[in-house]
């Protein structure tokens, strides 16, 4: 797509902008960005990525072939109402907002192609994990364009819309869980006396190595864990402590709570 409009200029919008401009998916000057009030933020993005700041009434809005909604979910309805009459009738819509259903876009923006996705902030470095659902108005060419745009920032899986709640919990929020785990590992290591810098570097290497082993797909996660876990050894003791603390239950509860919240957002709660 030649012209892409972002409604919202927060961290997710920036992550996608960084990915698509770095990969050449869209020319920076053809990326139009607007938000509710923070003009300094738009100038920051302009200086950083070469995008074009816009506001309601600017002709660039009507030129957009794709409008990416990246506001906070609570501001979604207001944003749709503000821009509805300014979008070209043929412009497609891509949502990156948690919990906002396709039906809301159809209600407020009329009959047009609508895609709903949930990337994560690893889009900044081209390693996002994104779920995508589309309505019946999305033609094959538009689907390919959206898949190409999202594919420029990482992995994309097309799913049914209802599955996006779970993907939001798993992939959209997933980086935060990994960072939280790294934070806990670092805190445990430094509390026990290891230098903070050494702990951080070792943890990063552990995570990178484990991810690389998983990506090879030569063994299931359980098999890889078993290869490291000698009976009666240090790893076995650590795994036993995690089990005693309810690690698997905590992870399951984490995913369920995030999925439930996504469904609550979709129902306006």
* pLDDT single digits (tens) 161-220: 999 999 999 999 999 999 999 999 999 999 999 999 999 999 999 999 999 999 998 899
Residue 115 marked ligand-binding: no
Residue 59 marked ligand-binding: no
- In the chain, where are the structural domains located? 4-163, 173-267
Alpha-carbon dihedral 181, 209, 242, 188, rounded to 10 degrees: -50
Say which residues have a Cβ less than 8 Å from residue 173's Cβ, sequence separation at least 6.
120, 258
Residue 8 marked ligand-binding: yes
pLDDT tens digit sequence for 57-70: 999 999 999 999 99
* Euclidean distance between CA atoms 218 and 232, whole angstroms: 26
Pairing of strands 114-118, 128-134: antiparallel
Mean local confidence (pLDDT), 218-231: 94
Question: Which pLDDT value is given to residue 152?
Answer: 85
Question: Which pLDDT value is given to residue 73?
Answer: 85
Question: Which pLDDT value is given to residue 267?
Answer: 78
Q: Which CATH superfamily is domain 173-267 in?
A: ProC C-terminal domain-like (1.10.3730.10)
Q: Kindly list the distances between the CA atom of residue 158 and the CA atoms of 86, 116, 129, in Å, as whole numbers in the listed order.
A: 29, 10, 11
Given a cut of 80, is residue 154 above it in pLDDT? yes
Do domains 4-163 and 173-267 share one topology? The answer is no
Question: Which pLDDT value is given to residue 107?
Answer: 94
Say which residues have a Cβ less than 8 Å from residue 77's Cβ, sequence separation at least 6.
104, 108
Q: Class assignment of domain 4-163?
A: alpha beta
Look at phi and psi of residue 138 and say left if phi exceeds 0, alpha if psi is from -120 to 50, else beta.
beta
Given a cut of 70, is residue 269 above it in pLDDT? no
Question: Which pLDDT value is given to residue 99?
Answer: 80
* Euclidean distance between CA atoms 227 and 90, whole angstroms: 55
Say which residues have a Cβ less than 8 Å from residue 140's Cβ, sequence separation at least 6.
none
Residue 71 marked ligand-binding: yes
Residue 72 marked ligand-binding: yes
Mean local confidence (pLDDT), 129-154: 93
Give which of 112, 155, 154, 153 is closest to 134, Cα–Cα.
112
Question: Which pLDDT value is given to residue 12?
Answer: 85
Residue 213 marked ligand-binding: no
């Amino acid at each position: 797509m030649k012209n892409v409009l972002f409604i919202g200029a927060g961290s997710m919008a920036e992550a996608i902008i960084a990915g698509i401009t770095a990969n050449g998916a869209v020319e920076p000057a053809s990326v139009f960005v607007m938000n509710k009030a923070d003009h300094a933020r738009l100038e920051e993005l302009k200086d950083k990525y070469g995008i074009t700041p816009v506001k309601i009434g600017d002709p660039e809005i009507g030129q957009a072939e794709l409008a990416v909604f990246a506001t906070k979910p609570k501001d979604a309805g207001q944003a749709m109402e503000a821009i509805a009459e300014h979008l070209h009738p043929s412009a497609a819509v891509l949502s990156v907002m948690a919990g906002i259903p396709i039906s809301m876009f159809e209600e407020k923006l009329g009959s047009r192609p609508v895609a709903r996705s949930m990337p994560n902030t690893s889009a900044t470095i081209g390693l996002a994990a994104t779920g995508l659902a589309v309505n019946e108005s999305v033609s094959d060419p538009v689907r390919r364009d959206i898949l190409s745009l999202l594919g420029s920032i990482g992995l994309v899986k097309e799913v049914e819309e209802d599955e996006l709640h779970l993907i939001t919990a798993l992939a959209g929020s997933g980086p935060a869980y990994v960072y939280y785990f790294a934070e806990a590992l670092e805190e445990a290591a430094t509390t026990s006396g290891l230098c903070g810098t050494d702990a951080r570097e070792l943890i990063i290497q552990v995570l990178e190595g484990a991810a690389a082993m998983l990506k090879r797909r030569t063994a299931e996660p359980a098999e890889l864990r078993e290869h490291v876990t000698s009976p009666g050894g240090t790893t076995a003791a650590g795994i036993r402590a995690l089990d005693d603390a309810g690690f698997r239950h905590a992870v399951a509860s984490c995913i369920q709570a995030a999925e439930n919240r996504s469904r609550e957002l979709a129902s306006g709660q």
